[in-house]
Amino acid sequence: MSENWTEREVPSQRGRVAVITGANTGLGFDTAKVLAERGATVVLAVRDVEKGKQAAARFGANADVTVQELDLASLESVRAASADLHATLPKIDLLINNAGVMYPPRQSTRDGFELQFGTNHLGHFAFTGLLLDLLLPVEGSRVVTVASIAHRIRASIHFDDLQWENSYDRVAAYGQAKLANLMFAYELQRRLAPHGTTASIAAHPGVARTELMRNSPAVARALFPLVAPLFTQSSERGALPILRAATDPAALGGQYYGPAGPGGYRGRPEVVASSPQSYDVAVQQRLWAVSEELTAVNFPVG
């Protein structure tokens, strides 16, 4: 495996179909751009279709890029998007679960879930389950779930109050959602392994300069421009762990890619370790069962 892996090492993606959530901006856009440049058919799955069309217009004239409406905060929208994709795509080679919200004030999804847990985890859980039949027949297909170093920050799975109805801590709620992303990726790989065709791999971008910081506390937003050069990296570099997880022939199911620098803030993309609690199989399986119950989506594996 290359120690200096860059987007130049992404192999040809011609003939492959990639569906990327939240791909109209930031990490999702940068990931989609590289995949399209390598010849993939790319679907930008986005909440705001008009912004998605504007993003699609930024791709080269030869790029095969379409826009799919997807609001991960609505299970109705998730099911509608899945139906649309089943009607238009013969297969999916890459499903990249990238979209997310971070540190908003307490809000609920249309289905009554806390916004961060409902969007970042449950929306992607349902979307993946509904599309998995388009991935399973495809040798070498992958599900890449984007996590965060925030899965280590005041994070645990609060089964007694998953929706933060008793009290709300935006930082801890984001930590729970990103920890859930990782646990989902690991448990999904355990269930996919017997099939031998599809791999589940996780990735995180370090601290990338994207629009995700817009809901951060005012103090953090004020300080960010001052300290950013010390521990952040561009969105393009933040996308590299995602691209490596999605395309490196040497990547394996169950791995976690992220920047190799101190703290995981920035650096070249490599296989990294997640927090000890993220590997707790009992919690992974309990979270899976709860997620199936909340979303009413049952996976064709397990």
Query: Is-catalytic flag, 174?
Result: yes
Residue ranges and CATH numbers for the domains of the chain are 7-294 (3.40.50.720)
Low-confidence ranges of the chain (pLDDT < 50): 1
| Helix residue ranges per DSSP H, the chain | 26-37, 49-56, 75-88, 115-116, 124-135, 170-192, 218-231, 235-238, 240-247, 281-295
Q: Rounded to an integer, what distance in angstroms lies between the CA atom of residue 80 and that of residue 235? A: 30
Q: Rounded to an integer, what distance in angstroms lies between the CA atom of residue 134 and that of residue 136? A: 6
H or E stretch covering 200: strand 198-203
**pLDDT for the residue numbered 232:** 76
Distance of CA 174 to the CA centre of its chain: 14
- Which SS3 state, helix, strand or coil, does residue 180 take? helix
**pLDDT for the residue numbered 267:** 87
232 phi and psi angles, rounded to 5 deg: -115, 170
- Single out the residue of 171, 154, 165, 162 nearest to residue 125, CA to CA: 162
Q: Rounded to an integer, what distance in angstroms lies between the CA atom of residue 29 and that of residue 31? A: 5
H or E stretch covering 45: strand 41-46
**pLDDT for the residue numbered 61:** 86
- Which SS3 state, helix, strand or coil, does residue 97 take? strand
pTM score of the predicted model:
0.93
| CB of 17 closer than 8 Å to CB of 246 | no
Structure tokens belonging to residue 147: 């996590």
Q: What angle do CA 192, 22, 104 make, to 5 degrees?
A: 105
217 phi and psi angles, rounded to 5 deg: -55, 150
| CB of 278 closer than 8 Å to CB of 151 | yes
Q: Rounded to an integer, what distance in angstroms lies between the CA atom of residue 158 and that of residue 161? A: 5
pLDDT (tens digit, 9 = 90+) per residue, 56-76?
999 988 999 999 999 999 999
pLDDT (tens digit, 9 = 90+) per residue, 6-46?
999 999 999 999 999 999 999 999 999 999 999 999 999 99
Structure tokens belonging to residue 261: 């620098």
Q: Sign of dihedral through CA atoms 207, 212, 213, 215?
A: negative
Catalytic pick among 174, 186, 256, 257? 174
